[in-house]
Structure 1
Amino acid sequence: MANLRQRLLDASKKATQVLSDAGTAARIQSGFSRIDPMLLAQEQDVPVMLTEQFDKLLGAFLREGRAGIIVNSDRPIGMMHMTCAHELGHYFLGHVSTHDEHIDYGDMDSVTEQEANQFAYQLMAPMWLVVRTVKAKGWGKTNLLQPAVVYQLSLRLGISFTAMAWALARLKLVTPAQASTLCVAKPKALKNDMLPPGVALGKNADVWVLDSRDKDWIIEPRSTDRFLLNLPSHATAGYLWSADELAGEGFTLSPILVDAREQKREGPPLVGGGGEDSYFLAGPAVEQQGGSVSEFHLRETRPWVANDEAATELALKMQFETVEEGLSDSTRLREIQP
């Protein structure tokens, strides 16, 4: 048992070293909120292949010849990220080829799988990144007991809801019993509860809840994701929110006709202003290209006043993540470089 604890500790240290060597902190400081395991694989010249042809498998690591990773792309994006991180653990820890049907291994599974899982958690949800995100959103420890909050935290870290709950337990921010209780909630139900009536959500799509505390981040959604915006409201003074730039990119912004005071929020209210109104932002009507950051500006103005100055402005920065069968975006870019 003592030897296992040491090996798991060594796996965590290896993940920390990988993050340091890759300069991941610089990526986070530039505005991104999550670790990108496919980018880390690219930097190690380890190709990542995405495929829907797997049945029950989540992913595989191949050691023979040139090392490579295969990830099942017919899964939610957070699970894909965790799978890639798990397979990277096999690579960095010197393991032989393997395939994985699940990645949340318990203490009865092989040591190598437990090591790879430990590596993945430390890689994708290190304490410094979790704390940074929680503080930026204004969440406290009691908020971390709310499934809706944990789901939003998982989106920003780019991992699955279940992985996020157990990452919090590993970091001792919640107890194992509390993590188990969180996992009773189903992400599908959480998503549907957030959406306005009659709005359908595509397979494996997510629902982001954004507000002005997200303005300094680069959000990394998929083109099928949907967004709820909690925006400061000065409607009593005649101001309304508009998003002309977003409309030009294929988005539609529409108010949710429910009193903002009755909306369930996942954090403390914003200071000042006249409260908040909720808006539904439908994703682009056309497929967005990944690889570049787009910045969209929302303005709160009085529509009937010509050249009216905005009472409030909010810039949203997004870099859409594309998922297509074949080599991942980061691997493809590396492979075509001379």
Structure 2
Amino acid sequence: MALDYESAVRTGAMTAGRLHRRLGTQAIIERHGGSVDVFGTIHSLGLPLLLRPLKGLLGAYLSSPAPGVLVTTERPMSIQRFTAAHELGHFAMEHEPSLDDESILRRMPMSPEPGSKFEETEADAFAIAFMMPKWLIAQHCARQSWTTADLCRPNIVYQLSLRIGASYEATCRTLVRYNLISTTIMRDLLQTKPRSLKVDLLYDYKPADYRGDVWLLTEKDEGVRLDGSRNDLFVLKLTEHSGGGYLWDLEKLIASGFAVVRDEREALDAEAIGGPVVRRVTAAPEAAQRGRMSLNERRPWQSTSANSSLTIDYDLTGPEQEGLSRAERRHLLEAA
């Protein structure tokens, strides 16, 4: 175990980096996008995991008689993932047993915790480096053409947080840790609450509640994998060349299990006649489901020829429920 805070942070981050290299995580996400599969990693390492409605705890790591992990079912998916990554860190560094409560969320990666519980510091640093590595942020920024200046905008940081599978606050603080934004900008970002960002994205559509996230998807998300929750909503902002007869066909989207709750068009250039427009479609999943969202931009009379397409694999069955993790259930289904 490390003997001071700085070496504890370094040990945790280096252990996470070694595990990513061992698993080839970066290459996998480069091909398909998405976030680090924390629960899938736990399953692939053969580390027993139990999901339970824990009282007063977010998770726990047990080392005897054999290593094992507990994670609560009573928190949002982003917190479940961070907790699981924290417990995975305890396992990877062969720590003593640990019962982890809300304090793992309050501890800031840039501020030493009181006392000398450096095993917790190591596990915190591991969780951040494993779940939110700098290369993952860089990959998503490159795909979306986001610059460092864009990371000062709350709406961009919110969309980044969804894609890396972290909370908005954790993403803001991690951007500071990687020197991508300043502490002052982080404080400004945290003045904006995710609920207001969701309201802005949905315009005049009002869901029953705002517990779910709101994803803004464009053609840049073609081919990615999304890991979300059953209450999430999707705003598809797509360029439509209606002047040339091309329209986005929503039939496949509806057949995929989504209800179109809002659909509008606006001109890209109000002065132009017959130019492309922006098609803005808000879609809601009709059930907690896994599958593929697919739609094409084509001329209605040329059903076999598409000008553009958007295909996204998704899993909207989160948060993790009691019993086996989704990753373990998927593995069992594939093996059956």
TM-score over 0.5 for the pair: yes
Give the unaligned 5+ runs of structure 1: 263-272
Q: Which residue of 2 aligns with 1:47?
A: 48
User: What root-mean-square deviation, in Å, do the aligned CA atoms of Structure 1 and Structure 2 show?
Assistant: 2.7
Which range moves more in the overlay, 205-214 or 193-202? 193-202
Q: Which residue of 1 aligns with 2:321?
A: 324
Change (3 A) 1:54 1:168: same
Q: Which residue of 2 aligns with 1:9?
A: 10
* Alpha-carbon displacement from aligned partner over 1:260-319 (angstroms, at most 9, x marks no partner): 659xxxxxxxxxx72422111111x23314xxxx4443122344x464844432222324
Give the 5 Å matches for 1:136-151: 136-151=143-158
Amino acid across the alignment from 2:139: R
* Alpha-carbon displacement from aligned partner over 1:199-236 (angstroms, at most 9, x marks no partner): 31556421110000000312222332110011012234
Change (3 A) 1:244 1:198: closer
Change (3 A) 1:225 1:201: farther
Q: Which residue of 2 aligns with 1:265?
A: none
Q: Which residue of 1 aligns with 2:235?
A: 228
Quick check: 1:123 aligned with 2:130? yes
Q: Which residue of 2 aligns with 1:266?
A: none
SS in 1 for 2:32: coil
Change (3 A) 1:103 1:183: farther
Give the 5 Å matches for 1:295-310: 295-303=292-300, 305=301, 307=303, 309-310=305-306
Mapped to 2, the partners of 1:257 and 1:275 lie a distance apart of: 10
**Preserved contact between residue 20 and residue 130 of structure 2 (Cα < 8 Å):** yes
SS in 2 for 1:278: strand
SS in 2 for 1:327: coil
Q: Which residue of 1 aligns with 2:272?
A: none
**Preserved contact between residue 59 and residue 101 of structure 1 (Cα < 8 Å):** no
Give the 5 Å matches for 1:101-112: 101-104=102-105, 105-106=107-108, 107-109=112-114, 110-112=117-119
Q: Which residue of 2 aligns with 1:74?
A: 74
Q: Which residue of 2 aligns with 1:24?
A: 25
Give the unaligned 5+ runs of structure 2: 270-274
1:66 Cα deviation (Å)? 2.2
**Preserved contact between residue 59 and residue 87 of structure 1 (Cα < 8 Å):** yes
1:321 Cα deviation (Å)? 4.2
Mapped to 2, the partners of 1:334 and 1:301 lie a distance apart of: 37
Question: TM-score, with normalisation over the residues of structure 2?
Answer: 0.85
**Preserved contact between residue 266 and residue 278 of structure 2 (Cα < 8 Å):** no
Mapped to 2, the partners of 1:174 and 1:185 lie a distance apart of: 16
Change (3 A) 1:140 1:317: same
Number of residue-to-residue matches in the alignment? 321
**Preserved contact between residue 76 and residue 205 of structure 1 (Cα < 8 Å):** no
Which range moves more in the overlay, 108-117 or 76-85? 108-117
Amino acid across the alignment from 2:22: D
Mapped to 2, the partners of 1:203 and 1:277 lie a distance apart of: 23
Which range moves more in the overlay, 179-188 or 157-166? 179-188
**Preserved contact between residue 48 and residue 331 of structure 1 (Cα < 8 Å):** no
Bigger strand fraction: 2
1:157 Cα deviation (Å)? 0.8
Amino acid across the alignment from 1:251: F
1:195 Cα deviation (Å)? 1.6
SS in 2 for 1:220: strand
**Preserved contact between residue 242 and residue 277 of structure 2 (Cα < 8 Å):** no
2:218 to 203, 211, 216: 211
Q: Which residue of 2 aligns with 1:270?
A: none
Change (3 A) 1:255 1:23: same
Which range moves more in the overlay, 202-211 or 116-125? 202-211
1:193 Cα deviation (Å)? 2.3
Quote the sequence identity (%): 29
SS in 2 for 1:13: helix
1:125 Cα deviation (Å)? 1.4
SS in 1 for 2:198: helix
Question: TM-score, with normalisation over the residues of structure 1?
Answer: 0.85
* Alpha-carbon displacement from aligned partner over 1:51-71 (angstroms, at most 9, x marks no partner): 3x2344322222232222222
SS in 2 for 1:91: helix
1:41 Cα deviation (Å)? 0.9
